[in-house]
Amino acid sequence: MMTTGWRISVAAIVLSLAAPSYADRSAETTLEVLHWWTSASEHAAAELLREAMEEEGYRITDYAIVGGAGEGAVKVLKARVLLDDAPDIAQIIGPSIRNWAELGFFHSLAGSQDNHTLFDNLSSPVFDLVAYEEQPFAVPLAIHRVNTLIFNQTLFDKFGLEPAVDWASWLEQLDLLQQAGIVPLAHSNQPWQNATLFETVLAVTASPDTYHQIMIEQDSSALLGEEMALSLTRFRQLKSYMQPLRNSDWSEATRQVFEGKAGMQLMGDWALGEVLQWQTGGLVGSQIDNQIGCSAFFSQQHLYSVDSLVFFRSGSLTEGAVQRLVQKLGDSDFQYRFAQVKGAIPARQDAALSVQPCLAASARDFEQQTRLPSLVHRTAAIEEVRNVFIHALHRFFNDDTQDIKLTQTRLAAELRALQ
């Protein structure tokens, strides 16, 4: 089943018959791009993407699905693929790329020698995320750091605070802000935001090995173990530092910190892109001013996710067209500009870095620290595993009567059923 508006129009077919050259044909092709970038900075990043593809002569239909972390977009994408109505290009992250590639849904991107400048300039964890049987099937655009602390610098200066170095000193800061009548932690009660908070807490509470066993292997003994129990305890403890929970976009919580209505937020570094957008309109090369500070959330770990795009074989794109788009989106200047607007680091290692100190640190840490793939942001496990975690954590966070041990047992059992 095909919808109107994103396939080749009748006029385009007529024109393509009259103008056989490839460049001319592309000018008449409309490509539908499905993604979940809808906040101010995300929209600006999607516009950069659109411009880049339009420069290659395509018309772009931007199919943006509201819902942070792709909660709506992935469901819509699956439904459309089942209806044989896949978009031409879609944002897909992590192991799903491999699984769908194995089923033959995507163009392989290995075909053109030119594109090797992109694929030769990726670090191996990034290449592995977009590859199936050593062949790339997605263009990685930018690497996000999920364990980012964003804080109101004016409030930090007023109370003489520096980013905390461990859990105990962090709680002291939260207590201090609370006693001064300031909401210590901006947070909203969407299931994926709760789970993002949890995985950031887990990254500073459990050892990297345990994180790995829980989030990548879903190992029962780690799920039932002490580090998991302590992470759940800490996760729940943070509720007392939040305003009564509301179900709002992540950017609303960022706005509270920006306006000094809350002290801090734990969120992916896309929140920095948002602040940059509010302050400077996302001007490339500009820096967020000292109203907002940021740092990695005191771990020696880089909790990451990689935004990437796949090209559906059922779409309007020929192999050659795909290779040209890959070259365009894999270009180091494009990756630099995209990452800056997005609040991330370019996937390409040889692309210039943002002047934002937090992002420069993210690039350095991604090379030097232990890398932990984010489960919530789809880098660690398949969608079904991710969803079981998210729902269990959301239930636990919202219901104080849920026993920690019972939550662990139930989660381990649910995950075992998926294996």
Interface residues with ligand BGC (CB under 6 A) are: 36, 42, 68-70, 144, 268, 270, 305, 307, 377
| Choice between 70 and 346, CB closer to ligand BGC | 70
- The least CB distance from residue 347 to ligand BGC, in Å, is 12
CB of 6 to ligand BGC, least distance (A): 22
- What is the closest distance, in whole angstroms, from the C-beta atom of residue 42 to ligand BGC in the complex? 5
- Nearest to ligand BGC of 156, 338 (CB atom): 338
Q: How far is CA 349 from CA 355, 367, 385, in A?
A: 16, 10, 30
Q: How far is the CB of 154 from ligand BGC (least distance, A)?
A: 26
The distance of closest approach from Cβ of residue 139 to ligand BGC in the complex, given in angstroms and rounded to an integer, is 14
Looking at beta carbons only, is 148 or 152 nearer to ligand BGC? 148
36/211 with CB nearer ligand BGC: 36
Q: Indicate the residue among 70 and 136 with the shorter CB distance to ligand BGC.
A: 70
| Dihedral sign of CA atoms 344, 348, 349, 354 in order | negative
Please say which residue, 118 or 375, places its beta carbon nearer to ligand BGC: 375
Least distance from C-beta 175 to ligand BGC, angstroms? 29
Amino acid at 217: E
CA dihedral (251, 257, 261, 266) in degrees, to 10, reads: 90
CB 66 within 8 A of CB 72: yes
Backbone angles phi, psi at 403, to 5 degrees: -70, 140
When the beta carbons of 242 and 253 are compared against ligand BGC, the nearer one is: 253
Place of tokens 């907002």: 292
Q: Supply the minimum distance, in Å, between the C-beta of residue 180 and ligand BGC.
A: 30
Phi then psi for 184, rounded to 5 degrees?
-65, -40
Nearest distance, CB of residue 88 and ligand BGC, angstroms: 19
Q: Which is nearer to ligand BGC, 12 or 40 (CB)?
A: 40
Reading the block at residue 407, the tokens are 């939550």
Q: Please report how close the Cβ of residue 250 comes to ligand BGC at its closest, in angstroms.
A: 6
In the complex with ligand BGC, which residue's Cβ is closer, 67 or 208? 67
